């Protein structure tokens, strides 16, 4: 089921208030997105843990409503 | 956590195989672009792996997501440790981290790059 990019961004921001979120709708179908999330919350965490934080923010929508979200997580450079 | 009977099945696979990929479809015929991408990365590195098609088993399909606390397929495991999904595996292969991890884990690779 399609999901709007703005909702994805809002959910991520809710969990990671400092996050800079960039979202691209890859196929224009509201179902295949690429997101780049930059947050200080990722510091000291493994890639798996960083992605888990984002998935947790999406509250179970990932893998369900949201089929495809290619995710890149970055730590802000001070 | 180990209440789920599927977890025992998963742990058995992980203990018997150094490199395991839980995927949609088979390594010869992946049924999802993300699974295909990971198969391609492993193929390039010449890594032998066991591909497990979660589309054949609904309990496993959900069980593996709960096992790794990871919502999507594919999932790559090396020596029983969850490495990541498609994005992480691709990133690690590009940076060389994946090659290092495999070598350090004693998995034979043919690094053509």
CATH of residue A30's domain is: 3.30.300.90
Distance CA B47, CA B31 (A): 20
In a 13 Å sphere around the CA of A25, the CA atoms on its Cβ side amount to 12
Domain locations in chain B?
5-104
Q: DSSP characters for A33-76?
A: EEEEEE-GGGTT--HHHHHHHHHHHTTT-BTTTB-EEEEEEEPP
Assess whether the previous peptide bond of B76 is cis (omega < 30° from 0).
Answer: no
Alpha helix positions (H), chain B: 5-16, 33-45, 58-68, 86-95, 97-104
Q: For residue B48, give both structure tokens.
A: 């032998």
Substitution target from B74, B88, B101 for chain A, most A beta carbons within 10 A: B88
Kindly report the average pLDDT of chain A as a whole number: 89
- Range B5-104: architecture per CATH: 3-Layer(aba) Sandwich (3.40)
pLDDT tens per residue, chain B (113 residues)? Answer: 557 889 999 999 999 999 999 999 999 999 999 999 999 999 999 999 999 999 999 999 999 999 999 999 999 999 999 999 999 999 999 999 999 999 999 999 886 55
Q: Residue A41: is its pLDDT beyond 80?
A: yes
- How far is A33 from chain B, CA to nearest CA, in Å? 12
Provide the pairing of β-strand A32-38 with A68-74.
parallel
Rounded Cα–Cα distance for residues A50 and A43 (Å):
9
**Looking at residue B30, what DSSP letter applies?**
B
Instruction: Give B73→chain A minimum CA distance, Å.
Output: 8
Q: Give the tokens for residue B57.
A: 């088993």
Question: Could you tell me if B51 and B26 are in contact, meaning their C-beta atoms sit under 8 angstroms apart?
Answer: yes
Count of the separate structural domains present in chain A: 1
Residue A23 has a CB neighbour count (10 Å cut-off) of 17
Chain B residues with CB under 8 Å of A70 CB are 86-87
Using the structure block, give the residue that is written with the tokens 């996050």.
A19
> Predicted ipTM?
0.80
Distance from the Cα of B8 to chain A's closest Cα (Å) equals: 22
Residue A55: closest C-alpha in chain B:
B71
Q: Domain of A18?
A: 5-34+43-74
Best CA proximity match to B99, nearest among B14, B42, B49: B42
Q: Which of B71, B83, B87 sits opposite A63 (nearest CB)?
A: B71
pTM for this predicted structure: 0.88
CB contacts < 8 Å between A and B, how many?
31
First to last CA, chain B: 41
């Amino acid at each position: 089921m399609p999901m709007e990019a703005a909702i994805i961004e809002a959910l991520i921001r809710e969990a990671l208030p400092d996050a800079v979120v960039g979202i691209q709708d890859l196929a224009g179908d509201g179902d295949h997105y690429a997101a780049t999330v930059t947050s200080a919350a990722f510091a000291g965490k493994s890639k798996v843990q960083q992605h888990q934080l984002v998935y947790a923010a999406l509250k179970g929508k990932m893998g369900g409503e949201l089929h495809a979200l290619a995710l890149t997580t970055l730590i802000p450079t001070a | 956590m180990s209440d789920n009977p599927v977890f025992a099945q998963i742990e058995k696979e992980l203990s018997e195989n150094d490199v395991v990929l839980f995927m949609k479809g088979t390594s010869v015929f992946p049924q999802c672009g993300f699974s295909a991408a990971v198969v391609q990365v492993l193929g390039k590195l010449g890594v032998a792996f066991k591909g497990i098609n979660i589309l054949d088993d609904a309990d496993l399909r959900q069980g593996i997501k709960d096992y790794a606390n990871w919502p999507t397929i594919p999932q790559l495991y090396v020596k029983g440790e969850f490495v990541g999904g498609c994005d992480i595996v691709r990133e690690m292969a590009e940076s060389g981290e994946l090659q290092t991890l495999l070598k350090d884990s004693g998995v034979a690779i043919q690094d053509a790059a």
